[in-house]
Amino acid sequence: MIRKIVYAIFIGIIIAGVLMFLSAFPFGENKMLVGKYYIENATNDAGAPNVVTAVTLLYRGFDTLGEVMVLFTAALGVSIIFAVEEKKKKVVQPPNFVVRVGSRIVFTFILLTGFYIFMHGHLTPGGGFQGGALIATGFLLLYLSYSDTGINRKRFMVAEGLGGIIYVFIGLIGLFVKGSFLANFLPKGTMFDLLSAGILLPLYIAIGLKVGSEFAGIVDDFMCEARCTGGEG
């Protein structure tokens, strides 16, 4: 009982600290400093109507590269943790008939929606991360509906590596052509077109490939842990 009270006081102190920090930032007021510059100049610098995408990929593209690295490290960690264990065949319940038939129809549309979302990341809300996660959920559905399914890990690793290489390569081309890493060296085109906004579209395609294949790999690791027959994990 005393322990719980002590912990409650501890949580209260943390919340109070956050509140003290928040008192400097009243809700709903316009307190933009850097954000103002981004909103005013994003259409000229990037040629993309979506300011969030311009901030993520153009102004802070290097951060995003590091963030993709974090994702890669986590996926690698999951693979390594599950790889040391021995795999044995387990009895699993066969999936439901409705799920099995329905997933054949739905899987295509999930994949298509994922591609749509990361192709239109510079125009609409969305982008490579969201589209990639959606594609991975499609593969999760396949795993849930067929008990003997398994994705080809080698091909997914190729897709993952291709995404990372494209990202770094675009950055390096910008370094050599324009003089700074991830500079926008492609023509911007007309706004609101699909093929516009310079490097943002290929960057988001690369991120979508990478995130999708990484999350699908994580799904594969977890499902393999539940019902794998052995061999490579």
Partner 1 sequence: MIYYASSLLLIGIGLYALIIKKNLIKVLIGLDLIETGANMLIVSIGFVKGGTAPIFSKEWLVPPLFVDAIPQALTLTSIVIGASQLALAAAFVVVLYKHYGTLDIRKIRSLKW
Task: Quote the distance between the C-alpha of residue 116 and its chain's center.
Answer: 15
Q: What is the largest CA-CA distance in the chain?
A: 66
Residue 191 binds partner 1 (CB under 8 A): yes
The size of the interface with partner 1 (CB under 8 A), counted in residues, is: 57
Please report where in the chains the tokens 């050599």 appear, as a residue: 176
9 binds partner 1 (CB under 8 A): no
Q: Whole-angstrom Cα distance, residue 160 to residue 125?
A: 24
Six-digit token string for 35: 């954000």
Q: Which is nearer to partner 1, 16 or 177 (CB)?
A: 16
Q: How far is the CB of 136 from partner 1 (least distance, A)?
A: 10
Count CA atoms closer than 13 A to 48's CA, side-chain side. 30
Give the helix/strand (H/E) hosting 210.
helix 200-227
Q: Tokens standing for 19? A: 């509140």
Contact stretch for partner 1 (CB under 8 A) within 58-66, 95-103, 106-114, 141-149: 58-66
User: Which string of b and e fits 112-139 if b means at least 16 CB within 10 Å?
Assistant: eebbebbbbbbbeebbbbbbbbbbbbbb
- Rounded CA-CA distance 211/135 in Å is 9
Binding segment for partner 1 among 56-64, 139-147, 148-156, 194-202 (CB under 8 A)?
56-64
Residue with Cβ nearer partner 1 (106 or 133) = 133
Spell out the residues 6+ positions from residue 196 whose beta carbon is closer than 8 angstroms to its own.
47, 48, 122, 188, 189, 190
Q: Is residue 144 involved in binding partner 1 (CB under 8 A)?
A: no
Q: Which of 1, 5, 27, 176 binds partner 1 (CB under 8 A)?
A: 27
Compare residues 174 and 208 and give the one whose CB is closer to partner 1.
208
Residue 210 CB, nearest approach to partner 1 (Å) = 11
Question: For partner 1, what does the binding mask look like between residues 73 and 102, x meaning CB under 8 A?
Answer: -xx-xx--xx--x-----------------
Least distance to partner 1 from the beta carbon of 51, Å? 4
Q: Does 203 bind partner 1 (CB under 8 A)?
A: no
**Residue 96 φ/ψ region, left for φ over 0, alpha for ψ in the -120 to 50 degree band, beta for the rest:** beta
Instruction: Return phi, psi of residue 104, to 5°.
Output: -60, -40
What residues line the site for partner 1 (CB under 8 A)? 4, 7, 10-11, 14-15, 18-19, 22, 25, 27-32, 34-35, 38-40, 42-43, 49-52, 54-56, 60, 63-64, 67, 70-71, 74-75, 77-78, 81-82, 85, 124-125, 127, 129, 133, 191-192, 211, 214-215, 218, 221-222, 225
